[in-house]
Amino acid sequence: MRPRVFIVDDERRMAEAMAQALATLECTAETFSRGRDALTAFLGRGADLVLTDWRMPDVDGVELMRQVRAARPETPVNLITAFGDVPGAVAAMRDGAFDYLTKPFDNHELRTIVGRALELSRLNRENRRLRAQLQSRSRADIVAESAGMRAVLTLVDRAAPSGAPVLLQGESGTGKELLARRLHAASAAVAGPFVAVNCQAFAETLLESELFGHEKGAFTGAVAAHAGCFERADGGTLFLDEIGDVSPRFQATLLRVLQEGEVLRVGGRQPRRVEVRVVAASNRDLAAEVTSGRFR
């Protein structure tokens, strides 16, 4: 399908001139002289790009941009502004505008900026398509017939897009890692890595190095720097299996990482920022462990 561009300018002749200039880009250009009309059309049928004048009556370009971004954050918005409004246009870019054009501009400049924005829109669509394929493939990996298991899968699918940490509890062998992978595949972090670590498989001193990494020379045998699981999972999901088996002391260290979003390698001095969605699992009754004082 040809990409759809909304052109919004209270000077109708200007909007129509821009539409003609974009004809060589093989896109469908629709013109509007009121921001409110453009917003109504956008909410009804969407667009791949909104190209809008800044100074307009009723809904101006900045307000239109905010409404468009609130409804569909992936849609690029280009502002058209007078030279004196450039500082405001730059500020608008910090609020989500893709780019801006300063009047007067030539058709080549217009087509260049619109072409870049449409390419971004195309990549966003492709990303959504691939993510949907991954989610579909992930859901097909788990076949559930019982009402109880279907309810579990529904709950997992509801939690997946939130980005919040998730705790999976159940007996060993019941498929907690499968659910963790399903959470990852249906989340915004699907393009990032999925890293799994069994906390029960490491002594406490080794677990710290495994999760947080270490610097060269931090301990005997550390012949090179090593990125831990948190760093390797940056931009994705970290699955911490058997989280109930780590000691209270290590729980305190782990809690700080979860709160601050920073890891400090063993032997390191400079914390490193990480963006990681944590999914943990345990075969223990962690509520009872908290009551007994063995789990934070």
Taking the C-alpha atoms of 93, 96, 98 and 103 in order, what is their torsion angle to the nearest 10 degrees? Answer: -50
| 8-state DSSP, 2 | P
CATH number, domain containing residue 267: 3.40.50.300
Asked whether the predicted pLDDT for residue 149 surpasses 50, the reply is yes
179 vs 59, 130, 194, 249, CA distance in Å?
46, 20, 12, 28
User: Does residue 49 form part of some domain?
Assistant: yes
The verdict on 125 and 195 lying in the same domain is no
Tell whether omega for the bond before 248 is within 30 degrees of 0, i.e. cis: no
Residues 64-85: tens digit of each pLDDT: 988 888 888 888 998 888 765 6
Q: Which of 41, 45, 30, 94 is nearest to 64 (CA)?
A: 41
Phi, psi of 58 (to 5 degrees): 50, -95
Residues 117 and 179 in one domain: no
| Neighbouring residues of 76: CB distance < 8 A, sequence distance ≥ 6 | 49, 50, 98, 99, 117, 120, 121
- Residue 196 and residue 150 in one domain: yes
DSSP string, 62-105: HHHHHHHHHH-TTS-EEEEE-GGGHHHHHHHHHTT--EEEESS-
Domain boundary among 131, 166, 185: 131
Mind listing the pLDDT tens digit for each residue in 29-63? 999 999 999 999 998 888 999 999 988 888 888 88
What sign does the CA torsion over 173, 174, 177, 182 have? positive
Pairing of strands 277-282, 166-169: parallel
Q: Contact at 8 Å (CB) between 93 and 81?
A: no
Same domain assignment for residues 276 and 154: yes
Q: What is the pTM of this model?
A: 0.54
- For residues 83 and 228, give the distance between their C-alpha atoms in angstroms, rounded to a whole number: 50
172 domain residue, yes or no: yes
Choose one of 79, 102, 131: the last residue of a domain. Answer: 131
Is 139 within a domain? Answer: no
Say which CATH number the domain at 84 has: 3.40.50.2300
Mean pLDDT of 101-121: 87
Mean pLDDT of 196-201: 90
Q: What is the pLDDT of residues 253-265, one digit of tens each?
A: 888 888 888 888 8
The answer to whether residues 114 and 54 belong to one domain is: yes
For residue 217, being part of any structural domain is answered with yes
How is residue 48 written in tokens?
């791949």
Q: How many separate domains does the chain show?
A: 2
Looking at the fold, whether 150 and 126 belong to one and the same domain comes out as: no
Is the residue at 137 inside a domain?
Answer: no
Do 103 and 157 share a domain, yes or no?
no
150 and 126 within one domain: no
Is residue 83 located within the same domain as residue 181?
no
Q: Are residues 259 and 176 in the same domain?
A: yes
What pLDDT is recorded for position 54? 85
Q: How confident is the model at residue 132 (pLDDT cuts 50, 70, 90)?
A: low
Shared-domain flag, residues 64 and 157: no
Q: Considering only CA atoms, which of 262, 245, 244 is closest in space to residue 253?
A: 262
Residues 197, 233: one domain? yes
In a domain, 138, yes or no: no
- The residue among 104, 131, 158 that closes a domain is 131
User: Whole domain around residue 161: which residue ranges?
Assistant: 145-292
Q: What percent of the chain has pLDDT over 90?
A: 26
Domain-embedded: residue 190: yes
**Average pLDDT in the 261-274 region?**
88
Q: Looking at residue 172, what is its pLDDT?
A: 87
> Is residue 63 a part of any domain in this protein?
yes
The pairing of beta strand 272-273 with beta strand 262-263: antiparallel
**Backbone φ and ψ of 50, nearest 5°:** -115, 120
Range with lowest mean pLDDT among 95-109, 136-150, 163-177, 248-262: 136-150
